[in-house]
Structure 1
């Protein structure tokens, strides 16, 4: 076809393909009732009927949350009915109109980084749980068009913030498509904003609820330092702007987004060194996702299907490696020292080694099963599963040492991530085979067998190369006293003045003897046990004793014979090995540069 004719066809088709933006007005007529209203205008020219949908989950949080259940009412502006055709879909007859207007009210009282919260002083809005969108009849997916948001907050909510581009009017935002809208939480209220520039890009730490207690200035200064360290790690900032939204709500958690992240923090998070390091780790983790997870991602995680599970075995990369680097990059930014870094890494190792599920679950399977395991934990979860966050972080630290050892310190896991970003960031992502092959390519040796053991098989990991390369050891356990206490391995809690079992891990005497969660412990060897005195009573026995434990199980009395043992004395705390060769000092220094 001649170029001129092709150009004419494209020019004629362009107006047909261009769709006007979807427009939302968000109002808070009675925020004290923890509700808010959305008025949405959808362009429907040429459609006999329109289908609207709401996401059922939020990317980064792998659980179907069924947000549509929070809708209290929906209809046209004058109460015209809307037909519900599925749990999260509605159908509207357009009657030849160019646009339709829908109004709905939402209940907002779940304080988390993936759900809405509204009260008299502020609002935290999550895109997936707030905004309906128009379904493209040709693709069955959200329509490819701009989504514009106009907030109408109460007068005592002076500021709003989001990772979206700001519109011309106050409290307005523009998302280029539904993906960006879902990916952009919004804070509205009395916000403290701390702007800074890194790599020529505008950044801001936005604090909601400082209350004169949270040290925003200190947090902002260290946020800038950490931002510079992470941008230096990757080589460039990949976003046009970045907002770290920090909701100080006495809650916890974080969720990554392309141009922002939402943190939930405690009021006194800056008051002690331990709490502040925990907050800095959260910032570091979610910010690292701007590269690893949001732009460099498994192929299965995009384009998102917002109505069903999106399965992948790659969350050990997205979350596990991010969990490893959250602390490493704090050390490289000089925000923590080497000893603190080792403490942080030790916590992950101890967590993993204390989880019996490591012998039955694999790292890859834990990722695939996130939808039914990680976000649906119960008292038996430690016995049948591992966390891809925790085991992924430990795999990351061991893999880093394997690569450094194989290349005599010339390459590291840093090089794998940077090469992966160059090669795979963008629309397609990477497959599991591609990422594993890249690891071997960077290492210069075939690490496929190592990766298979670490990712595809349950069981113990080998710490030897990591310890040897960096000159570390596990702190030797303290010697047992002359009178070691008996140990049965059950966790308990006092409820309403009664002593109940809350967790029994596989491999403990209590597990093998059949002590169950929710059993009430009444007596040992015929003598009543006060609810707060179990540890004291066990200290009266020595390992090897068999305890006759009287329990109440659903109000029926039973006696269990539990052979007590000594508490395991394994130590998983990392420390510098005083006998390590002098060269390991330089290796640790290179690790933290």
Structure 2
């Protein structure tokens, strides 16, 4: 036996050697890898000597060009490394907008200095500092998007979104909280500026801010514009609004009251405030790019026109402020330990706990929205129904990909367009995370006999050290320990299964055992109608498996649906339905007529200049998700959404 084993080993070795020799011809050159040294110093928790001076001229609103000047103190000759922020807080990814940085010039005492971009890290710039130099001057332009295909528009003739993170560099080798910086901004004369920073001086369009840390500065963006209104929501919280027109600032007393209740309900829920003051930086514009980005003492909240003056039809926009405000506690103050970094370049972010950072914030955004009246209870239930449908019927990718793997999407996918969203999955830690936390609340309420809820977790996890707006990090173990402190349960196994395992069934227990059930009806909810109006499309995801624009272009196809099986893809153009020109109502009528044993709709479609006729073999009629009450007694979901 041993002899046969030895012989087989000899033969396999010989055959393996022969195979390698055949793969690499003997006359071919064979280079070897060499070590590539790290040229960027690691961040150290020591004070930076001196104060960086930063001036951003944001007055060129016609061309959208920001002009930046910096003076960086130096204490020795040699290699100075300047870093342009790469890992963006709140973006959870290396998406610093380095491509728009141009016109770099470095000098000292008026004399040009040589600089070189690091070939291994394009966000790092090496400057050869001569002896006797005490400060280096840096100039560059940030050329912002002037067309939709270039990215988010951040400057228009009426307003600007000014993010220091895109408009500065900082010296490598230090924790960013240890780098003092004095910043100034220049905007068109007559414009107003809103930010969590408070200016120490103003002259015309120039605003000078006190010395602060580079970390706090980066966390304190500005909005500026001609049409401005500030609304005080509490002694410490302000709603700063800039609109395309004065008319967009016309908030009614009832709308202002809802925003005030949002602040009241959040403070009641979390128990502490992690800011000295807080500013909602709300832009209402069809020209400036929309966004939602959290900060400790402010949030960037960009919506399209109509936020106040078309309030009833802006349901999704009305969820933005509750979400971003919740981040002041969840994500900014309490930060996952693997996501926190000492600077914005040398230590990569890891997102393994984004189902807490974003998932629980998504949860609190809707809960606080309902409790405050920013959204009605019914609109909130309709929104939860849409989410429940998405992660049950609409996400077949859950049969192969665990939720935790989607926490890699900010880096792996970067929110690029997807051909098969439901199969590929994309950042599902947001809304599937929301469903998990709805169920966590149900479990706490049920296990405690109604004595405790997730509000107790909120106060225990977020409600310490009032007015501390540093970062208190946590791990998976800390989440489990706090849940067990609130209500003993096998939380570790529960969360590991929901987050780390492949789970073909969506986490709907918080709904199905919380007093409601997910059903489908032939009429869309107000929530879905609002989304269709905003998107200028018809959502037929559960009525054949597609979303189609008013122009007939398909924007989404559900994997293994009737549309999928007909060969329809994202980008397919539907030209005709049953021999007639495309019309969204006609498509819905054809789907209704096909219900049961009716004839399948016949679609003339084309991709490019290739036309074909297909049948949408769907006979289930029109189906839209909603939550249906079970019984008459209040359930745990009702209790969760009730005001405090």
Q: Residues 118-156 of structure 1, C-alpha deviation per residue, up to 9 Å, x if partnerless? A: 3334321112211111112xx5x6582211111232323
Q: Which residue number corresponds to residue 258 of structure 2?
A: 222
Q: Distance in 2 between matches of 1:192 and 1:245?
A: 11
**Structure 1 residues 380, 79: closer, same or farther in 2, change over 3 A?**
farther
Q: Distance in 1 between matches of 2:59 and 2:65?
A: 8
Q: Which residue number corresponds to residue 281 of structure 1?
A: 319
1:397 shift after superposition: 1.1
Q: Distance in 2 between matches of 1:341 and 1:562?
A: 32
**Structure 1 residues 193, 586: closer, same or farther in 2, change over 3 A?**
closer
Pick aligned residue for 2:186 from 140, 152, 166: 152
Q: Which residue number corresponds to residue 498 of structure 2?
A: 454
Q: How does 1:214-293 map to 2 (within 5 A)?
A: 214-216=249-251, 218=253, 219-250=255-286, 251-275=289-313, 277-293=315-331
1:423 shift after superposition: 7.4
Q: Distance in 2 between matches of 1:277 and 1:523?
A: 32
Q: Residues 277-302 of structure 1, C-alpha deviation per residue, up to 9 Å, x if partnerless? A: 54442111111111111001211121
**Structure 1 residues 413, 143: closer, same or farther in 2, change over 3 A?**
closer
Q: Which residue number corresponds to residue 361 of structure 2?
A: 322
Retained in 1: the 8 A contact 2:591–2:618? no
Q: Distance in 1 between matches of 2:339 and 2:94?
A: 15
Q: Which residue number corresponds to residue 30 of structure 2?
A: none
Q: Does 2:208 correspond to 1:208?
A: no
Pick aligned residue for 1:301 from 339, 342, 345: 339
Q: Distance in 2 between matches of 1:553 and 1:107?
A: 36
Q: Which residue number corresponds to residue 400 of structure 1?
A: 441
Pick aligned residue for 1:347 from 380, 383, 386: 386
Where 2:474 maps in the other structure, the secondary structure is coil
Retained in 2: the 8 A contact 1:121–1:156? no
Where 2:292 maps in the other structure, the secondary structure is strand
Q: Distance in 1 between matches of 2:312 and 2:557?
A: 29
Which is bigger in relative contact order (C-alpha 8 A, separation at least 6)? 2
1:227 shift after superposition: 1.2
Retained in 2: the 8 A contact 1:226–1:330? yes
Q: Distance in 2 between matches of 1:228 and 1:540?
A: 50
Q: Distance in 2 between matches of 1:500 and 1:161?
A: 40
**Structure 1 residues 413, 110: closer, same or farther in 2, change over 3 A?**
farther
Q: Which residue number corresponds to residue 417 of structure 1?
A: 458
Q: Does 2:407 correspond to 1:367?
A: yes
Q: Residues 385-422 of structure 1, C-alpha deviation per residue, up to 9 Å, x if partnerless? A: 15222111111112111111111111211222221225
Q: Does 2:572 correspond to 1:531?
A: no
Q: Residues 450-469 of structure 1, C-alpha deviation per residue, up to 9 Å, x if partnerless? A: 32332223322353454444
Where 2:582 maps in the other structure, the secondary structure is coil
Retained in 1: the 8 A contact 2:282–2:302? yes
Pick aligned residue for 2:194 from 161, 182, 194: 161
Instruction: Count the aligned residue pairs.
Output: 556
Where 1:24 maps in the other structure, the secondary structure is strand
Q: Distance in 2 between matches of 1:331 and 1:488?
A: 32
Q: Distance in 1 between matches of 2:179 and 2:94?
A: 25
Pick aligned residue for 1:565 from 591, 610, 619: 619
Q: Distance in 1 between matches of 2:409 and 2:436?
A: 18
Retained in 1: the 8 A contact 2:61–2:157? yes
**Structure 1 residues 277, 534: closer, same or farther in 2, change over 3 A?**
closer
**Structure 1 residues 541, 230: closer, same or farther in 2, change over 3 A?**
closer
Q: Residues 330-386 of structure 1, C-alpha deviation per residue, up to 9 Å, x if partnerless? A: 333355443333233223223333333333333222123232236223232222215
Where 2:460 maps in the other structure, the secondary structure is helix
Retained in 1: the 8 A contact 2:248–2:284? no
Q: Distance in 2 between matches of 1:260 and 1:281?
A: 16
Q: Residues 175-195 of structure 1, C-alpha deviation per residue, up to 9 Å, x if partnerless? A: 632222221111223353435
- Please provide the CA RMSD for this pair: 3.5
**Structure 1 residues 377, 320: closer, same or farther in 2, change over 3 A?**
farther
1:46 shift after superposition: 2.3
Q: Does 2:144 correspond to 1:93?
A: no
**Structure 1 residues 187, 562: closer, same or farther in 2, change over 3 A?**
closer
Q: How does 1:12-161 map to 2 (within 5 A)?
A: 17=47, 19-28=49-58, 30-76=60-106, 80-86=112-118, 87-95=122-130, 96-109=132-145, 117-136=154-173, 142=176, 144-157=178-191, 159-161=192-194
Q: Which residue number corresponds to residue 225 of structure 2?
A: 189
Q: Does 2:541 correspond to 1:489?
A: no
Retained in 1: the 8 A contact 2:258–2:372? no
TM-score by length of 2: 0.77
Greater alpha carbon shift after TM alignment, 394-403 vs 545-554: 545-554
Retained in 2: the 8 A contact 1:164–1:175? no
TM-score by length of 1: 0.83
Q: Distance in 1 between matches of 2:308 and 2:229?
A: 17
Retained in 1: the 8 A contact 2:353–2:476? yes
